[in-house]
């Protein structure tokens, strides 16, 4: 499940790595122009794509990057997959909106990241792709989307209970957007799991697809 700033094409190198390890990878797309819609609409968009894929839920590990994390448990509630994986991702809290969470715990985001526009090349290069190989940067910039789902971020998470699906959390240790400290805290205190750690920034699918594929392969065992 792609982030709010990079579309499904951004998974290209990771998909290649996963397929070389014998996995099949699905890259469903959000309807990025429907920012007028809320959490359930966007979660259902992913569920419909997964159902149409012909895959069996019990065989699928759903990975959500960055802002896509706020939809992941809603997807799991409707289509109980084998595991949820939060990749440097937001984790929703039942009864709270993402904006509530930010107000309650400002440490979620790097202060320097707030108010930045990732559509600006310099911002994207400094905060999102700062540790990516130079030869991939032009391509990475071409994969950007702008999916600031304001309504979804302002809505309270409608879950009344957490889905009965195991969860993992992958921390990006040098993340310049969602802080690594917050990632570790939410994994430990809310998900109740020990984190898996990757070096580098917010987009390991671009900077370290081989290493990310190794971690996901281990999770799948």
Task: Write the pLDDT tens digit of every residue in 158-191.
Answer: 999 999 999 999 999 999 999 999 999 999 999 9
Per the CATH hierarchy, to which homologous superfamily does domain 8-220 belong?
A: Alpha/Beta hydrolase fold, catalytic domain (3.40.50.1820)
Average pLDDT over residues 64-84: 98
Average pLDDT over residues 48-54: 97
| 160: phi then psi, degrees, rounded to nearest 5 | -100, -20
Give me the residue label for tokens 């240790």: 173
For the chain, what percent of residues have pLDDT higher than 90?
100
Find out whether 66 and 88 touch, Cβ atoms under 8 Å: yes
Average pLDDT along the chain: 97
Cα–Cα distance between 161 and 214 in angstroms, integer?
32
């Amino acid at each position: 499940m792609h982030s709010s700033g990079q579309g499904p094409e951004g998974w290209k190198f990771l998909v290649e790595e996963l397929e070389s390890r014998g996995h099949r990878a699905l890259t469903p797309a959000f309807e990025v122009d429907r920012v007028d819609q809320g959490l359930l609409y966007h979660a259902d968009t992913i569920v419909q794509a997964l159902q149409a894929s012909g895959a069996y839920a019990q065989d699928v590990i759903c990975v959500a990057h960055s802002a896509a994390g706020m939809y992941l448990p809603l997807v799991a509630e409707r289509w109980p997959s084998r595991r949820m994986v939060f990749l440097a991702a937001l984790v929703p809290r039942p009864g709270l909106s993402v904006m509530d969470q930010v107000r309650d715990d400002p440490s979620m985001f790097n202060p320097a990241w707030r108010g930045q526009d990732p559509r600006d090349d310099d911002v994207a290069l400094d905060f999102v792709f700062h540790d990516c190989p130079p030869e991939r940067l032009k391509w990475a910039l071409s994969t950007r989307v702008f999916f600031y789902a304001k309504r979804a971020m302002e809505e309270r998470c409608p879950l009344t209970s957490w889905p009965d699906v195991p969860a993992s959390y992958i921390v990006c240790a040098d993340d310049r957007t969602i802080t690594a400290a917050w990632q570790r805290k939410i994994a430990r205190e809310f998900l109740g799991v020990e984190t898996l750690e990757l070096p580098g920034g917010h987009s390991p699918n671009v900077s370290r697809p081989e290493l990310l594929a190794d971690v996901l392969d281990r999770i799948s065992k």
